[in-house]
A = this chain, B = another copy of it.
Amino acid sequence: MQYSDKILNTPSSFIRNILKVTGEPDVISFAGGLPNPISFPTEKLREAINNSIDVHGTKLFQYSTTQGYLPLREFIAAKYKKTHGLDIHPDEVFITTGSQQALELIGKVLINKGDGIIMEAPGYLGAIQAFTLAEPNFYSVTLEEDGLNIAELEQQLQKPNVKFIYTVPNFHNPTGITYSAEKREAIYEVVKKYDVALIEDDPYGELRFRGETLPYIGGGRLENSILLGSFSKTVTPGMRLGWIVTKNKELLDHIETAKQATDLHTNIFSQYVIYEYLANNEYKEHVDNIINLYRIQSDAMLDAMARHFPPTVKYTKPDGGMFIWVTLQEGVSALEVFHAAMEVKVAFVPGDPFYTHPENVNTLRLNYTNSTPEVIEEGIRRLGAILHAYAPAEKVNA
């Protein structure tokens, strides 16, 4: 058999592959990006399921519409009004099989082979995978502590056939950074001059444990704004429910055709159930509980890093979300450190898969949402000992 170029060029998920290695019970894993299962509203979802079956019966089990369940789309539209003051019509909301599918559909609908996509460097590896299937040229823009580098963005927008810019403006995966209000404004001023779409992927935006919600970069004001959202980090990832919001009707029509051809429609049972859950529970209270949990875990990790890491190692201090990004000294291979850390049963994700043109980088991602503060302390202590071995001699004693 001969396989397609696009699949031969698509990286298989480094994370999913290393999770196979790091999955043993005695490994302390900061590698995954999983929500903490104690945050799942299991009994409330059971109630929602039983109520939905009582009320809607066989409708939960039949084929359904490609666009998604209307009451759920209405709920999502109303949520944007509440959180960001945006006027979104339910018909501008499109339900997807997780927001991973949203990425893949957008790539399919907008990208001809060789068209340009502007990506954050580093950026979300699931997006790199999804877009690669459409065989684009990736143009990288350095992600700084407050968002994209503006000069580089301007420069990359000159490249031929750039179709969209992909960003994760809140509690970024993998870095944990949040775009500043000023940087958002600056990006908007640049992007509005071009006929490109701006994707703001926001799976973590509700999980803010410090500071105030910031306005979207393009959402609500840019003609080709695309907002992505998900219930994976706030209710359940297992049910695979995400969504796309855009006011570009032609784009949504094409996405509907792509979705029909891809999986007909999103699991309708799950759409009824999540809506029923959202309609009958204090969603904000539930999210606040997750935030409190993750704040404690994040603080525990940052505190342990301050004590155990050599001072030459730099890292971000997230205001929300699930990740901390670590920059080792220039020249240190995070992949090499990964193997050394696995010897002492600690796992993380080396930085390479987060770049569209990976080299042997000195950066790595830590996740704190799936370990208790005690386990975090122990894991960071072990990792710190490894990092000291890679730090320059004069700094070890600092």
A residues near B (Cβ < 8 Å) are: 1-8, 10-13, 16, 32, 34-35, 37-38, 40, 42, 45-46, 49-50, 53, 57-64, 66, 97-98, 100-101, 104, 108-113, 115, 126, 129-130, 132-134, 161, 163, 195, 197, 224, 232, 236-240, 248, 250-251, 253-254, 256-258, 260-270
Return chain B residues, CB-CB under 8 Å to A3: 109-110, 250-251, 254
What is the minimal beta-carbon distance from A250 to any residue of chain B, in angstroms? 7
What is the minimal beta-carbon distance from A333 to any residue of chain B, in angstroms? 25
Cα separation A89 to B298 with both chains bound (whole Å):
43
Q: A236-B269, A238-B268, A270-B270 are in contact. Are A129 and B260 (CB under 8 A)?
A: yes
A50–B46 CB distance below 8 A: yes
Cα separation A130 to B261 with both chains bound (whole Å):
5
Q: Work out how many copies of this chain go into the complex.
A: 2
B46–A58 CB distance below 8 A: no
B63–A42 CB distance below 8 A: no
Q: Which residue of B lies closest to A64 (CB)?
A: B238
Cα separation A331 to B37 with both chains bound (whole Å):
63
A263–B238 CB distance below 8 A: no
What is the minimal beta-carbon distance from A135 to any residue of chain B, in angstroms? 9
With A10-B261, A40-B58, A61-B237 already in contact, 12 other A-B pairs whose C-beta atoms are closer than 8 Å: A1-B195, A2-B110, A3-B251, A34-B62, A37-B61, A38-B58, A40-B62, A42-B57, A97-B267, A98-B263, A104-B262, A239-B269
Cα separation A44 to B134 with both chains bound (whole Å):
42
Q: A1-B248, A97-B97, A270-B267 are in contact. Are A7 and B46 (CB under 8 A)?
A: no
Q: A1-B250, A63-B238, A108-B7 are in contact. Are A132 and B261 (CB under 8 A)?
A: yes
A46–B53 CB distance below 8 A: yes
Q: A46-B50, A238-B267 are in contact. Are A2 and B163 (CB under 8 A)?
A: yes
B258–A10 CB distance below 8 A: yes
User: Which of B5, B101, B250, B257 lies in contact with A263, CB distance below 8 A?
Assistant: B101
B40–A263 CB distance below 8 A: no
Return chain B residues, CB-CB under 8 Å to A11: 257
Q: List 9 A-B contacts (CB under 8 A).
A: A1-B197, A1-B224, A1-B251, A35-B62, A42-B58, A50-B50, A61-B236, A98-B263, A263-B263
Q: A10-B261, A258-B10, A261-B10 are in contact. Are A108 and B4 (CB under 8 A)?
A: yes
